[in-house]
Amino acid sequence: MDKRKQGISILGVPMDLGADRRGVDMGPSAIRYASIQEKLTHLGYEVKDIGNLQVPTPESYEVGQQQLKYLKEIVAVSEELAGSLEKIVESGRFPLVLGGDHSIAIGTIAGVAKKRKRMGLIWFDAHGDLNTAETSPTGNIHGMPLAVSLGLGHPDLVNIAGYAPKVHPENIVVIGARSLDEGERNLIREKGIRVFTMHEIDRMGMGAVMDETIRIVTEGTDSVHLSLDLDGMDPNDAPGVGTPVAGGMTYRESHLAMELLAESGILTSAEFVEVNPILDVENKTAKAAVALIGSVFGEKVL
């Protein structure tokens, strides 16, 4: 379906319970301030911004378990988010979710995969987000959403929306990884998840990486979700993120990846997460997010 006829529904999730550094709850506002709706409308889309989910502030709740911080609150938000996403998918519109920390992907993926037979998943990130309570060095749930989506982790997280797993290892591609914990490395090897580290991107070039990615996530699937953490980009281009890692994807490499996804026409949902305006420089990271979203939806130079 032509996404311009389909229409786009924007949903903000101002979540910062999954991360240690505060400020990422302002990510949806920063992206809106950088003119996301105007950008997409200018590209010819019918855009409906349905506002933000209500997310508890950390100050008003107990951390709970140190290895699963704010578990109860994150489960509650994830269930609500999954329900909202399911409704958007049922309405036939394209869901575009703005984070918030990457723990929101637990609810996003649960909602968009519910009505699909088998979903492909593209994970742009400096990190693997494949930790569980047993392997996490911090207990921060934003380092766990990909593991949770695979059915690994605390039962309350794994069974969001009443089913598990949401995705299968052979349908997942991680792009831009350059900071992996030992438990994550072991899991990647054990499950055979395709990970393009910065080493592969440097050697192969982003064009070849995306060709292979598109092949993997479309093989035997009926939908493809993009989960893009702005820390996948180099901190020079996206300074306003909670966990920056040097040596990331350049502005141009990131755009090329989005442009190739637009050309392929495979995406059925997307989320952009971890924009932290408190750590940013003149909203540079939110502007980068909006520029990448423009490319995803077909913006070209010529």
Does 301 reside within a domain?
no
Instruction: Judge contact between 250 and 237, C-beta under 8 A.
Output: yes
Other residues' Cβ atoms within 10 Å of the Cβ of residue 239: 18
3-state SS class at 222: coil
Active site residue 229: yes
3-state SS class at 122: strand
Instruction: Judge contact between 199 and 176, C-beta under 8 A.
Output: no
- What's the distance, CA 206 to chain centroid? 19
Choosing from 127, 154, 168, 225, the catalytic residue is 127
Instruction: Name which of 238, 89, 266 is nearest 173 in CA terms.
Output: 266
Cα–Cα distance between 158 and 144 in angstroms, integer?
10
Q: What is the mean pLDDT of each run of 10 residues along the chain (302 residues)?
A: 86 95 95 98 97 90 92 97 98 98 98 97 98 97 98 98 98 98 98 98 98 98 98 98 96 98 98 98 98 97 80
Does 120 reside within a domain?
yes
**pLDDT of the residue at 1:** 63
Choosing from 259, 274, 280, 299, the catalytic residue is 274
**pLDDT of the residue at 33:** 98
Does 164 reside within a domain?
yes
Q: Is the pTM of the predicted complex or chain greater than 0.85?
A: yes
Which residues, 6+ apart, have CB-to-CB distance to 252 below 8 Å? none
**pLDDT of the residue at 5:** 82
Identify the H or E element spanning 251.
helix 251-264
Cα–Cα distance between 51 and 9 in angstroms, integer?
10
Choosing from 125, 253, 259, 271, the catalytic residue is 125
Does 115 reside within a domain?
yes
CATH code, 225: 3.40.800.10
Report the domain count for the chain.
1
Active site residue 231: yes
**pLDDT of the residue at 164:** 98
Active site residue 199: no
Cα–Cα distance between 275 and 45 in angstroms, integer?
24
Q: What are phi and psi of 272, to 5 degrees?
A: -125, 120
Choosing from 16, 25, 73, 129, the catalytic residue is 129
Choosing from 231, 234, 237, 299, the catalytic residue is 231
- Domain range for 234 is 3-296
Cα–Cα distance between 170 and 193 in angstroms, integer?
6
**pLDDT of the residue at 73:** 96
Active site residue 181: no
**pLDDT of the residue at 4:** 79
Active site residue 101: no
Choosing from 25, 73, 101, 229, the catalytic residue is 229
Does 302 reside within a domain?
no
Does 186 reside within a domain?
yes
Looking at residue 85, its amino acid is L
Choosing from 73, 102, 154, 168, the catalytic residue is 102
Give the chain's end-to-end CA distance (angstroms, integer). Answer: 23
**pLDDT of the residue at 62:** 86
Active site residue 274: yes
